[in-house]
Amino acid sequence: MLALASGTVVATSSSASAGTAYEWDLCNSGNGSCFGIFYSSVPGSLVIDSACFLANRSVPDHWGRYENGGTIQVRYQFRNQGYNGGPLIVFDRVSGGVAFAKCLPNGAGAGDPLKNNAASAVNQDTVPHTIYYNSGYGGQRQTINSGRGYNIIAELKNNNASSLRG
């Protein structure tokens, strides 16, 4: 279950300069079924405390995307809604290598780019998510099944470029 203080997940972004925006939440459905990619690894305590990136859809390029005919660059980064005063995100009821995960607004990795910086993942979506080495879902991969959380394998740690839902 993805627990939120307000019961909803709200997409947030902040503008760094004209034409560039930053986003860390692609799981704004409010249903709590999210895939979290974390900046930090799972320590011996099995509790992740770091900034994260959320999705409940496929992300073909962890770098980001262009909108508005290519005039707006949206970059993906690690963060949390708490950054803008929203609820903190907590993943619980997971198994595997993670017991509990907190997505902290200003934790380790906050503001860093998502692409090639991920160390662990927790899946509370209803379907598996697969992390890939290359953009466009190519190369080495690791699947995180629903209800599971793990460190990302050595070949993909800090070498994540896309993720596929389902």
pLDDT below 70 — which residues of the chain?
1-18, 28-32, 44-45, 80-88, 92-99
Nearest to 114 by CA among 6, 5, 23, 11: 23
> According to the model, what pLDDT value does residue 147 have?
86
- Residue 153: what pLDDT? 95
Q: What is the CA radius of gyration of the chain?
A: 14
Phi–psi pair at 50, nearest 5 degrees? -160, 175
Cα–Cα distance between 52 and 110 in angstroms, integer? 8
Task: Tell me 56's DSSP state.
Answer: S
In terms of Cα–Cα distance, which of 51, 55, 52 is closest to 33? 55
Q: Pairing state of beta strands 89-91 and 13-17?
A: unpaired
Q: How far is CA 5 from the centre of its chain?
A: 19
Residue 59 has a pLDDT of: 95
Residue ranges of domains in the chain, CATH in brackets: 2-165 (2.60.20.10)
Query: What pLDDT digit, counting tens, does each position of 91-114 carry?
Result: 765 666 666 777 777 778 888 999
Cβ(142)–Cβ(129) under 8 Å? no
**Interior angle at CA 43, CA 39 and CA 49, nearest 5:** 45
Q: Computed from CA positions of residues 151, 156, 159, 161, in that sequence, does the dihedral angle turn out positive or negative?
A: negative
